[in-house]
A and B are shown apart, each in its own frame.
Chain A
Amino acid sequence: MNDWDKIVKKLVLIPLVFLLVSVQLLDAQKRWDEIEYPPLNSFEKPDIEIFQLENGITFYLVEDDELPLINLRVLVRTGGVLVPNEKAGLQSIVGTVMRTGGTTSIDSDELNEMLENRAAQMETGIGFTSGSATMNVLSEDFEDLLPVFVDLLKNPAFPQEKIDLAKTQQKSSISRRNDNQSSVANREFRRLIYGPDTVYGRNVEYSTIDNITRNDLSAFHSQSFVGQNLIIGVIGDFKMNEIKPKLDAAFSPITSGEKLELEFPEVDYSFESSINFVDKRDVNQSYILLGHIGGMRENPDYAKLQVMNRVLSGGFSGRLFQVVRSEKGLAYSVFGSYGSNNFFPGTFTAGVMTQSSTTAEAITAVKHEIERLQQESISQEELENTIDRFLNSLVFEYDSRASVLNERISYDYAGLDPDAFDKLVEEIQAVTVEDVQEVAQKYLRPDALKILVVGNGSEIGDQLLQFGEVNEIDITIPEFAEDEAALIGE
């Protein structure tokens, strides 16, 4: 290498070094609050194609070719609310046996093999305010399996042996319902709020399962699974113009029937404070729920209540997490929110799980946070942070094509406007610190809380007395009628 070369190299190297430094400078590490964000990439909401068959079935279609699958979900206007108390659990048995029992033309073993050989999924289930049936298949299997799915909806066989199996399983679940602390707490709290003999608070018991007959299943099915009650969402790898005639042909044979009116009885609630206790000797932590009746989604204060909920318990930033968990170390799990339901009043429920010895302290700490929402207004900064959390994460509301479809269908089923969410966003932006205090004062009643503790009485001692006279709840499971008869016989 001669000198000229060396000089040339140096000349080349010098700017290179500078360049490296300047790149480094351009991309220096920044503190979180120094970062400037580029604009967000856009997201185009997919169009939802909506059409109705003559029998009343409404379809909602969205194309989505990311995966070679088609997913069809039927939402059924029906539910446990239609079932009388003495047959509590009927809707769940119908939902189970529709699938496990096969159809009048394909028996269940044959159906299971046909589906699992193709890794196809079909499931049915019925809850309290709606029912559902789903089919998830490879797009190339769609045409073959669609008639099977419609057969399942239209002609379930309800064979007696599968009904008996479902009943046995339900009874096994009943026998296990006191094993898990959180399910005891949630169940008993629901009964405290809505009343144990109401459609909202009742239990499924051995006797109510025994009361259910095959005729009940058939009758429930045939009033529910008719065109007027079905909303169907289809998303996946298909072409709109190709799939529509297929859906039309497959679903048109379903009879139109009558539209079911789901009637939700009034909740007869009186605001009274009480302290209730379930003794569970195999735990060392108290599962505490406290609250009262909540409200409806249609409430004009809904947006304000959502902000209040987030102040009280939104992620890591909510007050309950901050105070009861981080500052006081009283709990791993703590939460609270004023619930607003679509069809019947929700509940205001706050909850905390804490070791037996700090049961009273945790109740007081949670109660204090509820009272504080009423007594002092939140700061402007807390309000802005709370609203920012909501607005900045809005993009996740539609993080897939399916989320757009699902939102639309659930809004339609609940009777909400399709733009209800956009409206909520607008309203939340307008919420003020005064609004939050106002709704806290209007809707929360820390003076009239029903408190439920599921915990270990021998460890808790007399801590609960400070909240009033303790009402001990007996959760013994009522026995089988036939067992009782046998006992009397002895």
Chain B
Amino acid sequence: MFIKQQVNRGISFSIFLLFLFLISSVSWAQNLEAFEERVTEFTLENGLHFIIVERDIAPVASFMTFVNVGSANEPVNHTGIAHIFEHMVFKGSKTIGTTDWESEKEAIEKMDKVYRAWLEEKYNPNPDQEKLDRLWEEFENYQEQASQYVINNEFSQIVEREGGVGLNAFTSADGTGYFYSLPQNKAELWFSLESDRFKNPVFREFYREKEVIFEERRMRTDSSPVGRLVEEFISVAYSAHPYRNPIIGWPSDITATTIQDTREFFETYYAPSSFTIAIAGDVDPDRMKELAETYFADLPAGEPAPKVKTIEPEQRGERRFVIEDDSQPFFLAGYHTVNQMHPDWAPLQLLGSIISDGRTSRLYRRLVQDEQLALDVAAFNGFPGTKYSSMFLTLAVPNRGVPLEDIENTINEEIQKVKAGEISREELDRAITNARADLVRSLNSNMGLALRLAETHAQQGDWRRIFTFLDDLQEVTLEDLERVANTYLVKQNRTVGKIVNRQETEEVAASEDNL
């Protein structure tokens, strides 16, 4: 139910790894072996993939349904539809959440038909207002009719009553995840409920839920200075690739999306082969496999989801924009880079870490500590997603009264030093060590494990990439860092977005007028 702006720093993880910090003496292959003993994988005939991780720390288990479909897959006119569908999955099924599905379905279908007619009329060059009003009234009647049969949030109530916790979902540019945790003896409940809601999706309370989504948009984007900046930023930085669209969708597209559109989206993209399900916790993998066959094998295989084939064209020149706002200033710049399967991904991850992670990093030392230009500064690769050609971002929150130009110039100077080959072996080693440590520290959570394994399998073809990526990091040289900086962090490839304070700008303008 929330939007995940995926920020993947490419730092991966593993379990029971005593050798983790030893830099080069032990290959990841050995650690992988230890971990593999706890992982069971299988693919059903229809293409649905399962990953089971045994972790018997406590009698609980976490369930993650990761669907390799995100906002980047959305059709024209319907940005936000991946997220709208995500909300609908909480509305139950043909048997859960309704007192009479057949009657409800009839009302829902009539309601959608009238809504579509209303939409068509609305976009006529000369819409007939009387007709619009009449259609709207009819629409509201059907909506009211359908609502008689609704058992409010029955799906979620069952989960919560049985002791489920952390029930939620996210939509990112690259994928959609549905998740909760249960006491370990109730795994079958998850299989029953989860298979039911994806086999029998209903578009219950669809238009009411779109109102909820509009409120979500107002909260995350419209009423948040950084939300507004980021939405503007991706739409300027990307010309062609769907990473340019906000995950929550443009308001007019949310309005224009009907039940019919959403069902079509589901049928096109939610093939079993788009699913990776990971279960982590105190569970028996053989039993999980039996239950997977029982509950998911009858999902028809269908056609695999269409792939995104738009490739972001090379940028022809620097792009800049300024938002004059009530808020205090903010600086954001980004450079187009590569996707996560590209060999330059590893050096770009390390580059971000070296210049901005921790108190020893170059940007922190200079901007935050020594010159006190910024309250905070960050640089990382992997935005707005990682599956397709991504961006390396630098961002800074200026200290009170510090001009944004000073921030930008200083960051550029630091990037220049990287390009000139100033990074030391010590800095590189430290970044690799910290990547490994971050990984280990992230291991003590069932849900964290489930998400990372499912996502990595879905997007990179094998969860083992979590481990082997650390080998990739290990092989990065100082020359690689210098090379990727010179290749990607160049002006022509850059987008710069700023928030400036409206009041300050007006004061400056006024004083200039007086001169």
Interface positions of A from 189 to 209, Cβ below 8 Å from B: none
Contacts A32-B96, A32-B158, A168-B399; A43 near B59 (Cβ below 8 A) = yes
Question: Is A297 in the interface zone, CB < 8 Å from B?
Answer: no
Q: CB distance A41 to B59 under 8 Å?
A: yes
Q: CB distance A393 to B164 under 8 Å?
A: yes
Residues of A close to B430: CB separation below 8 A: 116-117
- Listed stretches A53-61, A394-402, A418-426; interface member: A394-402
Q: CB distance A330 to B160 under 8 Å?
A: no
Q: What's the minimum C-beta distance from B88 to chain A, rounded to whole angstroms?
A: 12
- Listed stretches A251-259, A311-319, A445-453; interface member: A311-319
Question: Is B216 in the interface zone, CB < 8 Å from A?
Answer: yes
The CA of A396 and the CA of B192, in the complex, are separated in Å by: 22
The CA of A333 and the CA of B223, in the complex, are separated in Å by: 14
Q: CB distance B360 to A112 under 8 Å?
A: yes
Residues of A close to B398: CB separation below 8 A: 172
A-facing mask of B126-146, CB < 8 A → 1, else 0?
Answer: 000000000000000000000
Q: Which of A40, A117, A392 touches B184 (beta carbons < 8 Å)? A: A40
Q: What's the minimum C-beta distance from A100 to chain B, rounded to whole angstroms?
A: 8
The CA of A387 and the CA of B107, in the complex, are separated in Å by: 35
Interface positions of A from 395 to 417, Cβ below 8 Å from B: 395-396, 398-402
Question: Is B413 in the interface zone, CB < 8 Å from A?
Answer: no
Q: CB distance A326 to B328 under 8 Å?
A: no
Q: What's the minimum C-beta distance from A370 to chain B, rounded to whole angstroms?
A: 19
The CA of A464 and the CA of B400, in the complex, are separated in Å by: 35
Q: Which of A108, A119, A165, A282 touches B223 (beta carbons < 8 Å)? A: A282
B-facing mask of A265-306, CB < 8 A → 1, else 0?
Answer: 000000000000000111111010000000000000000000
Q: CB distance A175 to B369 under 8 Å?
A: no
Give the interface centre of A113, A179, A280, A287 by most chain B CB atoms within 10 Å: A179
Contacts A41-B184, A179-B328, A392-B162; A316 near B157 (Cβ below 8 A) = yes
What number of B residues sit within 8 Å (CB to CB) of A?
Answer: 86
Q: What's the minimum C-beta distance from A481 to chain B, rounded to whole angstroms?
A: 15
Q: Which of B58, B208, B444 touches A43 (beta carbons < 8 Å)? A: B58
Q: CB distance A282 to B358 under 8 Å?
A: no
Question: Is B188 in the interface zone, CB < 8 Å from A?
Answer: yes
A-facing mask of B406-446, CB < 8 A → 1, else 0?
Answer: 00000000000000000000100110011011101101100
Q: CB distance A284 to B17 under 8 Å?
A: no
Contacts A37-B186, A322-B153; A398 near B58 (Cβ below 8 A) = yes
Q: CB distance B400 to A175 under 8 Å?
A: yes
Q: CB distance B400 to A172 under 8 Å?
A: yes
Q: Which of chain A's residues has its CB closest to B162's CB?
A: A392
Q: CB distance A118 to B433 under 8 Å?
A: yes
Q: CB distance B20 to A68 under 8 Å?
A: yes
Q: CB distance A136 to B441 under 8 Å?
A: yes
Q: What's the minimum C-beta distance from A378 to chain B, rounded to whole angstroms?
A: 14
Q: CB distance B219 to A389 under 8 Å?
A: no
Q: CB distance B440 to A68 under 8 Å?
A: yes
Q: Which of chain A's residues has its CB closest to B326's CB?
A: A282
The CA of A401 and the CA of B444, in the complex, are separated in Å by: 11
Q: CB distance B444 to A68 under 8 Å?
A: no
Q: CB distance A396 to B60 under 8 Å?
A: yes
User: Contact residue range for chain A?
Assistant: 35 or more
Q: CB distance B192 to A392 under 8 Å?
A: no
Question: Is B460 in the interface zone, CB < 8 Å from A?
Answer: no
The CA of A315 and the CA of B210, in the complex, are separated in Å by: 20
Question: Is A321 in the interface zone, CB < 8 Å from B?
Answer: yes
Question: Is B170 in the interface zone, CB < 8 Å from A?
Answer: no
Q: Which of chain B's residues has its CB closest to A113's CB?
A: B360
Question: Is B253 in the interface zone, CB < 8 Å from A?
Answer: no
Question: Is B212 in the interface zone, CB < 8 Å from A?
Answer: yes
Q: Which of A284, A389, A398 touches B218 (beta carbons < 8 Å)? A: A284
Contacts A68-B18, A284-B223; A395 near B59 (Cβ below 8 A) = yes
Q: CB distance A35 to B192 under 8 Å?
A: yes
Residues of B close to A282: CB separation below 8 A: 223, 225, 325-327
The CA of A100 and the CA of B360, in the complex, are separated in Å by: 11
The CA of A333 and the CA of B17, in the complex, are separated in Å by: 41
Q: CB distance B16 to A66 under 8 Å?
A: yes
Q: What's the minimum C-beta distance from B475 to chain A, rounded to whole angstroms?
A: 19
- Listed stretches A23-31, A127-135, A217-225; interface member: A23-31
Q: What's the minimum C-beta distance from B398 to chain A, rounded to whole angstroms?
A: 8
Q: What's the minimum C-beta distance from A311 to chain B, rounded to whole angstroms?
A: 13
Question: Is A48 in the interface zone, CB < 8 Å from B?
Answer: no
Q: CB distance B219 to A285 under 8 Å?
A: yes
The CA of A394 and the CA of B58, in the complex, are separated in Å by: 12
Q: CB distance A395 to B192 under 8 Å?
A: no
Q: Which of A27, A69, A112, A281 touches B441 (beta carbons < 8 Å)? A: A69
Residues of A close to B307: CB separation below 8 A: none
Q: Which of A67, A175, A181 touches B440 (beta carbons < 8 Å)? A: A67
Question: Is A38 in the interface zone, CB < 8 Å from B?
Answer: yes
Residues of A close to B161: CB separation below 8 A: 317, 385, 388-389, 392
A-facing mask of B10-31, CB < 8 A → 1, else 0?
Answer: 0000011110110000000000
Residues of B close to A103: CB separation below 8 A: none
Q: CB distance A316 to B167 under 8 Å?
A: yes
B-facing mask of A161-173, CB < 8 A → 1, else 0?
Answer: 0000100110111
Q: Which of B158, B215, B429 touches A332 (beta carbons < 8 Å)? A: B215
Q: CB distance A41 to B158 under 8 Å?
A: no
* 11 extra A-B contacts, CB within 8 A, seeds A32-B96, A282-B325: A30-B192, A100-B359, A116-B434, A119-B437, A171-B399, A176-B375, A181-B224, A282-B326, A392-B161, A393-B163, A395-B60
In the A-B complex, list the 7 residue pairs whose CB atoms are closest, starting with the nearest. Answer: A392-B163, A119-B437, A329-B211, A316-B156, A283-B223, A285-B218, A332-B216
What are 24 contact pairs spanning A and B, CB under 8 A? A32-B189, A39-B185, A40-B59, A41-B282, A67-B15, A68-B18, A68-B440, A116-B360, A138-B21, A168-B372, A171-B400, A284-B218, A285-B222, A316-B153, A317-B153, A329-B212, A331-B215, A355-B218, A389-B161, A393-B160, A393-B164, A393-B165, A395-B59, A402-B444
Interface residues, chain B, CB within 8 Å of chain A? 15-18, 20-21, 56-60, 90, 95-96, 147, 152-153, 156-158, 160-165, 167, 181, 183-186, 188-189, 192-193, 195-196, 205, 208-216, 218-219, 222-225, 282, 290-291, 293-295, 325-328, 358-360, 369, 372, 375, 397-400, 426, 429-430, 433-434, 436-438, 440-441, 443-444
Interface residues, chain A, CB within 8 Å of chain B? 27-32, 35, 37-43, 66-69, 100, 108-109, 112-113, 116-119, 136, 138, 165, 168-169, 171-173, 175-176, 179-181, 280-285, 287, 314-317, 321-322, 325-333, 353-355, 385, 388-389, 391-396, 398-402
